[in-house]
Amino acid sequence: MCAQTPVSQIRIGSGLLILALTLGLGACQPQAPDGGQAEAPADAPAEAADPATPAPGTAPAPGPFAGDLRAVGTEPFWGLSITGGEIVLERPDFPPSRGPNPGFVMEDAQAVWRTQTTDGGDLMVTLRQAPCSDGMSDLTYVYAAEVQSGDETLSGCAGKADAMPREGDMPPTAAAP
C-alpha cells in the first residue's frame, strides 16, 4: 500500500528543492574547455574598481589613506585638507583652491588624488607612507606629501586630520615613558 503525502508538504518540499537548485546554480562559474575559469562574456558587468578607491558617495575602504587627511608645507607655506567630499588647498595671498574628492588610486605604493578645482585648474595630491619632517620643527609626520597645482609643485608632510603631530607630542613611532 502506498503512503499518501499531504499536498502542503509537497509544496513546501518542492519550494525548498527549487531554492536549493537556484542557490546551487548561482554559485556556478563558467569553465573553459580545459577546466579552468572561462573569460567573462562581453556583456558581463565590469569588475569592481580597486577596493582602495572608494566609489563616489560611498565610504572609503579602511586603510592608511582612508578618512580625513591634512597636509602642510613650508617655503612657501601651504595647507591642504582632504575630506570625504572635497580637497582644499590654502596658501597665503591666494584664494583657496577647491575641488571634489574623487577618491584616491594607488600608484607605486602612493595614494594619488586628481581633481579639477572650481576655477578650472588641475590639482594632484600624492601621499606616501614615510616619516616626514617639516624642516622647521621637531615634529614627525607619518606621510610625505606632494601637491601639484597647475605648474607649481609643493612639498610637505601629512597625517590623519585628527592625529596631526603638535609641539610637545611624542613622535608617532615612539612610546611614551
pLDDT surpasses 50 at 10 = no
Q: What is the pLDDT of residue 102?
A: 95
pLDDT tens-digit readout, 121-171: 999 999 999 999 988 888 999 999 999 998 999 999 999 988 888 775 555
> What is the distance between the alpha carbons of residues 91 and 24, in angstroms, rounded to a whole number?
59
> pTM for this one?
0.60
12 backbone dihedrals φ, ψ, rounded to 5° = -65, -45
Per domain, the residue ranges of the chain are 69-159
Q: What is the pLDDT of residue 52?
A: 42
Read off the pLDDT band of 75 (50, 70, 90). Answer: confident
pLDDT tens-digit readout, 150-160: 899 999 999 99
- 160-163 long-range contacts (CB < 8 A, ≥24 apart) are 160/67, 160/68, 160/69, 160/70, 161/67, 161/68, 161/69, 161/70, 161/81, 161/83, 162/67, 162/68
pLDDT surpasses 80 at 27 = no
> What is the distance between the alpha carbons of residues 81 and 106, in angstroms, rounded to a whole number?
19
Percent of the chain residues past pLDDT 70, beyond the cut: 59
